[in-house]
Amino acid sequence: MDLFDKFDQVVALRSSLPFEKADPFKVVVDEVISETEAVIGGRRTILAGTNNYMGMTFHEESINAAKEALDQFGTGTTGSRVLNGTYEGHKKLEATIADFYGMEHCMVFSTGYQANLGMISALGGKDDYVIIDADSHASIYDGCSMGNATIVRFKHNDPENLERRLKRLPEDAGKLLVVEGIYSMLGDAAPLKELLEVGKKYGCMTLVDEAHSMGFTGETGRGVAEELGVEHLSDFFVGTFSKSVGTVGGFAVSNHPKFDVLRFVSRPYIFTASLPPSVVASATKSIEAIKRGSNRRAHLWENARQLHTGLKEAGFSMATKTAESPIIAVHLPDVMMGTRFWEHLLLEGVYANMAAPPATPSGMFLLRISVCAQHTSEQISEIIKRFKKTAKAVGLNS
């Protein structure tokens, strides 16, 4: 028995996609010109699918801090946070994030994925319930699989559907409600006030993942909960450094007095090496810059609105009525059109994401763009122009 036989269906599906000149799973970035441009397959390409929302990847202070840390502390810690992998930089980063969120405690994980894995698997014990949105990110689902809690799922962004489920749970059981600020595929924001209020009414502890909303939502960029003024309803915030912060890593913050015990019980925190000092140093500088980055935030939202309006006017079927985030997604009718559109667009010099099931909800095919604060208005106009050209070439909207 070949253990790989079980993947035959995946291989068949994969090879049925009609890519001719480019392949979304084999994109190689040859050269990075700036936050918003790269050379892909020998072509100068506008990057419109990199989740680099705040454009921090070339932030001068972050780069300088990383270089200094590299010289001073070397390329890696070679150890777990609970052994030899906690340097002064890790502690400073945790203090910076705690200060940014105005909270008492912060734990830094090696990736955003592990932050969700580590929080959810540790908090959801055998007799507890973890209640999640049906469209949750894979890291939330995997955190559920890893823990021992009973998992209850409610309809995406639907407080009424959530309440019906919470009503059926034992009143005195431990409950963790997990939601996201912005959902990464459609770029739709959550009705956090309603969801968290229902959660609190039924005695849940609440966790909000602001991975795709940190940096540009809310007055200081803490996320959707800040924007809506409901941060007091959330017991934990989880976030990532691999989007707005421009590097890699993840974190969780909380005011819970016992929070630090998670350092001894959260396996994804313990059983992996800590972040390299250079990454930690650049994340610290980026978060400081994000806090005072209201100009970037303002320009990012302008870009998002310009793109949404432009594509809507061009006749594209938009995933959200307005620009709810810098994620702007358009519906494509099927996998064939999705494939051809993505490929043609790349050859036109725009890199976006083709999103297909199971990453997307309800079997949708999407072309997903993520806008950057460093995109110029001219680049946004150029993206719209190339979308129109591509639609014409592949026979969409006609």
Partner 1 sequence: MAQPATLKTIYDLITPINQKNAALAPETTFASDLELDSLTVMDLVAEIEDTFDIILPLNLLPELETIGQVADTVDKIVNES
Q: Determine contact, residues 96/288, Cβ cutoff 8 Å.
A: yes
Give the residue with the Cβ less far from partner 1, 102 or 357: 357
Of the residues 59, 137, 175, 212, only one is catalytic, namely: 212
Q: State the nearest-atom distance from the C-beta of 138 to partner 1, in Å.
A: 13
Beta bridge partner(s), residue 105: 254
Return the number of the residue (31 or 127) whose C-beta is nearest partner 1: 127
Residues 6+ apart with CB under 8 A from 26: none
| CB of 123 or CB of 279, closer to partner 1 | 123
Cβ distance to partner 1 smaller for residue 195 or 384: 195
Question: Which pair of tokens denotes residue 250?
Answer: 């993840």
> 184 an active-site residue?
yes
State the minimum distance, in angstroms, from the CB of residue 322 to partner 1: 26
With 0-12 / 13-18 / 19 or more C-beta atoms within 10 angstroms meaning exposed / middle / buried, residue 145 is: exposed
277 CA to centre of own chain: 23
Residue (152 or 337) nearer to partner 1, CB: 152
Q: How far is the CB of 369 from partner 1 (least distance, A)?
A: 24
Q: Are strands 43-47 and 350-351 parallel, antiparallel or unpaired?
A: parallel
From the list 59, 90, 137, 243, the catalytic residue is 243
* CB nearer partner 1, residue 18 or residue 363: 363
> Is 243 one of the annotated active-site residues of the chain?
yes
Nearest-approach distance from CB 71 to partner 1, in angstroms: 48
Q: Is 193 a catalytic residue?
A: no
What's the closest the beta carbon of residue 169 comes to partner 1, in angstroms? 7
DSSP state at residue 72: H
- Cα 244 from Cα 286, distance rounded (Å): 9
Cβ atoms of residues 122 and 313 within 8 Å: no
From the list 62, 110, 136, 184, the catalytic residue is: 184
Which ranges of the chain would DSSP assign to H, the alpha helix?
8-16, 60-73, 88-101, 112-123, 138-146, 159-167, 192-201, 224-228, 262-265, 267-270, 277-291, 294-313, 335-347, 377-394
Residues that bind partner 1 (CB under 8 A): 134, 144, 150-153, 155, 161, 164-165, 168-169, 357-358, 361-363
Beta bridge partners of 131: 152, 177
Instruction: List CB contacts of 317: < 8 A, sequence separation 6 or more.
Output: 330, 331
What are the catalytic residues?
A: 184, 212, 243
